[in-house]
């Protein structure tokens, strides 16, 4: 099936309104691991599901290679039961976005991930992803799923709810991935632990 695309009526002023959803043929029941990065790339051609060798897929491939997995194309992820997406469905204008924008995006993210009924693990790659998931869990279950601490302090913790294990980590997309070597190492460790749970 093709994933449902959800409309957003919000006009957030700190993003360029794009609201992009991947149009891919997928079996939602096959997805066991969801990896949520922060926001759309500045150039939509760099998004995971675009043809060719998009930049977001390149850095994600590097992160998985660091963890011992040789993935090259998006079908390698889908065949393994892995779905890649972003918390923010538009392009950031600047480095930061407002709480309002994150809350607005969290409703679209919820509708997106609820299509995957067999999800066992969700990786939250970066602060925006963590915050959006906390908004979702607060709305649905009246509690945050991830504590409001720095990722470095909490990433080794175990966070589970409703049969899903959550991994707070760092973003594997964007220019900073190849710059901050320590974070790249931690991302690979988190991927290794997440993959153990879906094999």
Check which CATH number belongs to the domain holding 64 and give it: 3.40.470.10
Backbone angles phi, psi at 136, to 5 degrees: -60, -50
Q: What is the pLDDT of residues 60-103, one digit of tens each?
A: 999 999 999 999 999 999 999 999 999 988 777 777 778 888 88
Across the chain, mean pLDDT equals 88
Q: How many domains in the chain?
A: 1
- What does pTM read for this prediction? 0.92
Could you give the angle at the alpha carbon of 164 between the alpha carbons of 163 and 169, nearest 5°?
160
Domain presence at residue 62: yes
DSSP 23: -
**How far are the Cα atoms of 32, 37, 150, 166, 186 from residue 153, in angstroms, in the given order?**
26, 19, 6, 15, 12
pLDDT at 7 over 80: no
* Residue 153 structural domain: 15-196
CB atoms under 10 Å from CB of 196, counted, come to: 9
Relative to beta strand 121-125, strand 33-40 is parallel
């Amino acid at each position: 099936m093709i994933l449902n695309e959800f409309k957003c009526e919000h006009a957030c002023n700190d993003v360029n309104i794009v609201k992009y959803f991947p149009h891919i043929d997928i079996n939602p029941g096959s997805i066991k691991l969801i990896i949520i990065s922060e926001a759309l790339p500045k150039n939509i051609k760099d998004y995971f599901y675009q043809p060719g060798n998009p930049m977001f897929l390149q850095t994600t491939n590097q992160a998985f290679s660091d963890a011992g997995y040789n993935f090259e194309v998006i079908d390698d992820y889908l065949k393994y039961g892995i779905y890649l997406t972003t918390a923010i469905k538009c392009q950031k204008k600047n480095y930061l976005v407002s709480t309002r924008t994150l809350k607005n995006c969290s409703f679209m993210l919820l509708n997106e991930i609820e299509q995957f009924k067999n999800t066992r693990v969700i990786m939250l790659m970066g602060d925006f992803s963590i915050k959006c998931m906390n908004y979702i869990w607060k709305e649905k279950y009246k509690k945050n799923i991830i504590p409001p601490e720095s990722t470095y302090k909490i990433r080794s913790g175990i966070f589970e709810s409703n049969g899903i294990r959550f991994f707070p980590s760092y973003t594997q997309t964007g220019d900073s991935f190849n710059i901050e070597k320590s974070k790249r190492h931690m991302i690979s460790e988190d991927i290794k632990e997440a993959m153990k749970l879906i094999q």
